[in-house]
Structures are given as C-alpha cells and as structure tokens.
Amino acid sequence: MYRRAAFVLLLACGIVSQLSHGVEVEVKDKDNKLCLYANLMVNFSVSYDTADNKSATVEFELPGAVTTDGSECDAKSSVLKLNFGEGHSWSVNFTVKDKVYQADSITFTYNLSDTTRFPNSLYNDTKTSTVTPHITDVELDTCYSCKSNDMIEDVSVNQTLWDVLVQAFVNNGSKSEQTTSCAADLPTTVVPTTHTTSTTTAAPVTNSTSTAAPATTTPTPTLPPPATGKYSIKPDANSTACLLADFGLRIGLKQGDKYEEMNLDPNVTAVSGSCAVNSSELVLVSNTMTITFTFTNDTKKFHLHALNVTGKTSSGVAFSEANTSLSLWEASVSSSYMCNKEQNYTITDLLTIYTFGLHVQPFGVKKGSFSTAEECQADADSFLVPIAVGVALLVLILIVLLAYFIGRKRNMATGYESF
C-alpha cells in the first residue's frame, strides 16, 4: 500500500540537524509511524565546465539543513530523498525481495546555476548523476551499517558515504536494534587466493626415519580459459571509439569456506560506459555478473582506479565486491596497456580477478585503434628466457669455433715442423 511520507526532525520540527555523527532523519507514513530511518554522511566532488573554457572541481558535504519532499514508503519499495540548497537533491531507491532489501540506485541532482557552489559555471542547467550503491542483501528488520568510507564514482561526480546507518523498511514504527554490517566493516582472516595449477607440498621431516605428513593439494581449476571479448565505447553512434578493451576475464569469489570461479562470457555480455577527460568507465553486464571498470588519468598516466563486481554465484547467492583505490594497468595516456600473460589481481579479501590477453586503452584512442602498447613486466620477462638461451648458444658457438681454429692452427704448425 502506498503511504505518503512525512518528515520529522529528531530534536525539533522542520529541519534536520547536522550532528557530529552525520545527518539523522526519520520519515513517517500517513499514520505518523516511522517507516524509514537514516543517519549518514555524504561528501560530493563535482567537476564542471567554467565560462573561461576550463574545468573546475568543487567539494562539499551533504549539509544539515535538508527537507524530505519526495520521500516515499511502501511495502516493497521506499525512497529517501533529501533536498538541500538551491535545487539540489540526493535520493536512494530501496526495494524488497524475499527476506532482504537493497539500495537499487542513488540519484544526485545538482543545479549549476547555484553560484555559491558552482562559481563561474558555463552552464546554468540541472545535472543528474545516477549510480549503483554497494548496499545489498540487508536482512529485513535490521539496519544497514557501514562506518567505512564507500566511494562511488561517476563521470563527473564522486560520492563518498560513511558512518551510514539506514533502515529502509521499518516494522511497527520502531527502528531495529539489529544491524547488517557492510563487508568493509567485517574483520577477516581470509588469505588472498592465487590462481595456480595443481601442486603438492610435503611437510618437512626431522630425520631419515620420520614419516612425512600427508601432502596438501591445491585443487586445479576446472574452468577452461575464458573467451576473449572485444569491447569498445563510443560517445555517440556517429563517432569512433573513445575506449577500447580486449581481454578474457575470470573472477574468483570467496564466500565463507567456499571458493568459486566464474568466467565472463563475452557472447552474452552487454557493453556500456562513458568517456571523459579525466575519467572513463566500462560496464559489462552478463547473465551472472555486472562489472564496472573505472579508469582515471593525471594527464600523463592512466590506470585502473576502481573495480566493482556484483552478481550471483552458481547457488544463487548474491555478492557485491568493490575496490576504489586501485592502481593497476598503468600506461602513458597516449599509449595502450597490454599483458598477454595470464595475470591474477587480489581486488578485495574475497575477490580475485584473472585476465587473459589483456589490452586496454581508456583514453586517447585515435581512429578507433589501439595506440602503441606498454607491456606488463610479465610479458617483458617472457622475452628474457629466449634471449638468454640465444646468447648462451652464441657464446657456445664462438667457443667451439675458437677451439676449432686454435686446434687447426696447432695442427698446421706441427705439420710444418714434421716436414
């Protein structure tokens, strides 16, 4: 049943106060019962064009004075909308499925005509940034809690959430004392998993008569190498590609005492993304997972800055893992990055990715083709062995030839003496 949301202040009516621990709000339904609770902090970093043909970046936080016009509560969906300043708003859409709920999207709307926050802006229109948050699988009748920083990136907007405590579907008008914590807040002793072939290691023995302990075996992955996908992003249908990526991809996921690997199938993968001056994004959506790659550049070098992977395991268990402080696949902006060798990267304590035949260029693509590649160390090292073997063979040949000529010279000299 649709219920019209009403906003109340915890300490006084009409305005939300900025407490030391964040903005705290309650949304009530038409029966004046609490239906949605939130206590959180949000920082914004917004890039925009200025009137002098330059770009500027401003940073500000979600202020204390907000209203909740547009907030809604329902049995299966809820919306928390916080309005502030001169035409700005921040909203989260929640939905229920079975016995859990999640945040489907965060929408940040900002008004460039607000000269206080966006001085000297070239445009005066209203912009909207919609992103997918990392709030999933929250048990009903519990609050979602995440004290750790959670940065969510878009092309021109970065949002950082922290000290978050939210209950989207409040039962019987009373906030729950139980919490579902985000993965970043949970202590973990998981040892990062590496991708290896089957190996057997025997325990050391103390003397010749000791009996070795049973060998431990690392299971050999049963998946075949993933197919190589060729992905590209175009600004519009009539333009050439601004982002290119070729690779085969496998993810490894640790859940409890179980470990599972899944290949990304390029034949059933939808491609989307965006290109900008300082940030580019590649989004791959298959029937089992959604992977978002975010690249940044500092005008000289680019690198993979953030990776977000969501999906479901073969048993139907949902997962969401992200790292927004990576520094992978670095190369000059005018070049591409290549690594043909199979590589594995530990993204989080629970997530590892494996790349095969990797070749990416998120910036500076010309005529829709890769620029000269900067190779990874693994590829560079692969040339050292044949070079070393070739040098060794050359030295051996020189030694043999030298020995031959020395021996021949001695034989000739002996022949002259005998004559």
Cut 0.85: pTM above it = no
In a domain, 198, yes or no: no
Taking 3-state DSSP, the helix, strand and coil percentages for the chain, each rounded to the nearest 5, stand at: 10, 45, 40
Q: Which domain holds residue 181?
A: 3-185
In a domain, 97, yes or no: yes
The model's pLDDT over 284-343, given as tens digits with 9 standing for 90+, comes to 999 889 999 999 998 899 999 999 999 988 888 899 999 999 999 999 998 999 999 999
Same domain, 332 and 407: no
pLDDT at position 390:
77
The model's pLDDT over 192-247, given as tens digits with 9 standing for 90+, comes to 444 443 344 444 433 433 334 444 434 444 689 999 999 999 988 788 999 999 99
In a domain, 418, yes or no: no
What the block records as the tokens of 390 is: 């070739």
Same domain, 125 and 250: no
CATH number at residue 154: 2.40.160.110
pLDDT at position 198:
39
In a domain, 121, yes or no: yes
Same domain, 250 and 318: yes
In a domain, 210, yes or no: no
Q: Mean pLDDT, the chain, as a whole number?
A: 83
Same domain, 371 and 388: no
In a domain, 215, yes or no: no
Domain finish residue from 154, 185, 216: 185
Place of tokens 């859990």: 100
Q: Please determine, for residue 108, whether its predicted confidence score (pLDDT) is greater than 70.
A: yes
The model's pLDDT over 403-417, given as tens digits with 9 standing for 90+, comes to 888 877 777 766 555
pLDDT at position 19:
34
pLDDT at position 200:
41
- The residue-averaged pLDDT of 89-99 equals 93
Same domain, 51 and 177: yes
- The residue-averaged pLDDT of 365-371 equals 94
Same domain, 287 and 364: yes
Same domain, 18 and 167: yes
Same domain, 388 and 334: no
pLDDT at position 17:
34
Residue 138: phi, psi to the nearest 5? -90, 125
Same domain, 335 and 391: no
In a domain, 219, yes or no: no
Same domain, 33 and 137: yes
**Cα gap 130→155, rounded to integer Å:** 10
The model's pLDDT over 154-179, given as tens digits with 9 standing for 90+, comes to 888 999 898 899 999 998 899 999 99
11, 13, 18, 22 alpha-carbon torsion, rounded to 10°:
70
In a domain, 192, yes or no: no
Same domain, 133 and 29: yes
The model's pLDDT over 327-344, given as tens digits with 9 standing for 90+, comes to 999 999 989 999 999 999
Domain finish residue from 131, 160, 185: 185
What's the number of domains the chain is made of? 3
**Cα gap 305→324, rounded to integer Å:** 6
Return the minimum-mean-pLDDT range out of 2-16, 117-131, 161-175, 232-246. 2-16
Same domain, 179 and 259: no
